[in-house]
Amino acid sequence: MKFVTLFTAMSGLALATASPYGRGLLVDLDGGDSFSVSRGGRMEQGTIMDRLRKEDRFRQFVKVLEKETGLRDDLDRRDTKVTLFAPTNEAMDRFEEEIRMAEREGDRPTMKEILSYHIVRDEEMKCKDMRPGMTLKTELRPNHLDRHHQRIRVVGFGGTPILNMRAGVQDCDMRAENGMIHGISNVLIPPRDLYHQIYRIPTELSTWHMALERTDMRKELERGSAWTVFAPSNEAWQRLGHQNLVHLFSCEKGMKQLKKIVEYHMAEDFAYADRIIKEDRLRMKTRHNQELEVETCRRSGGCREGRRHDLDEHRRENPNKYMFVINRGEARVEFQDIPSENGVMHLINEVLIPEDVELPSERRM
């Protein structure tokens, strides 16, 4: 399931379906432990803004930054550490067309929000520090996330970091006195809300989308903030079997049970994978008022061998070393940490059935 189709929703605008190299990919996006790319690395005098002003390839990005005086001044401070992802002039040209399309859809983020989404605070991160599968906390803190930091998800292709399956890192490790700059091939767009993320991944989540519509839980999902959604894949629904699916999606009694099932997959507790790893076993209250439990297991040792934290030099976990098991084996997270405007989504391989739901058939596919 670790395919590019999972990232068609992540950047929030129509052109986000394109890869940073202009062609479709069908690869293991989270494979490997780290990236081998490390160009640049040269230290120059001056702040991040000083360095950007000297580089003609970032001329258009600098022009926009200069208008946002608060962010610009932060990038000029020498008493802080920042990692900045800087779009090239070519990326900014493409961005203007995307913004025109977004305006027609009535879905345009502010320029300050977009720029904030390119800044990782209190980090001086090199390319080799960006592990496939990790997430980066940005300066953007949306109200719909209850002011949690919005994140960028890192994937990999050919040894190169790719951000949100949208922006390839073209020039790594340009050092300044107050941090690190990485040139990127596309502007990063803050992700849209959970419902639109689900809608844009029909090959994996069309049945989950239908369940939200049939139970009228779409409105609940759109109104809420800082959700953690465990979204069953289409294959997970198919494994319930034909009789159960007809019951849940066709008759009145079944629809009431379907609503309980949907609510049981919506946790009112915000948790990316790094939090689950930190806590080992996390109990989460769901919209259905029943708890579910997510347990961290080492891929190499299982859930009962005792877990040793696998930290890098910056005290960060490597998410690829772990798997996440729900309710002692009822389901497993197959793809974690899809960011959205009002929460985070994890794709799972089974439909979770709450205790007060009894399906007509015990037989599953």
What is the block-wise mean pLDDT of the chain (365 residues), using blocks of 10 residues? 51 39 41 57 80 97 96 96 97 85 68 97 92 94 96 87 94 95 96 94 97 96 96 97 96 96 97 94 96 91 58 66 94 96 98 96 72
Residue 365 confidence (pLDDT):
63
| pTM exceeding 0.85 | yes
Nearest to 52 by CA among 39, 38, 66: 66
Q: Are strands 227-232 and 179-184 parallel, antiparallel or unpaired?
A: unpaired
Residue 203 confidence (pLDDT):
95
Nearest to 277 by CA among 236, 310, 304, 250: 310
Stated length of the chain: 365
CA-CA distance, 65 to 139, in Å (whole number)? 14
Sheet holding 160-163, edge to edge: 119-121, 82-87, 179-184, 167-176, 160-163, 151-157, 135-137
Residue 24 confidence (pLDDT):
32
CA-CA distance, 325 to 333, in Å (whole number)? 6
Q: Are strands 179-184 and 82-87 parallel, antiparallel or unpaired?
A: parallel
What architecture is the 194-348 domain classified under in CATH? Roll (2.30)
164 CB-contact burial (10 Å; exposed 0-12 / middle 13-18 / buried 19+) = buried
- Domain 4-184 falls in which CATH fold? FAS1 domain (2.30.180)
Q: Do the domains 194-348 and 4-184 match in fold?
A: yes
The domain segmentation of the chain, as residue ranges, is 4-184, 194-348
Tokens of 254: 């079944």
At residue 173, what are phi and psi to the nearest 5 degrees?
60, 50
18 CB-contact burial (10 Å; exposed 0-12 / middle 13-18 / buried 19+) = middle
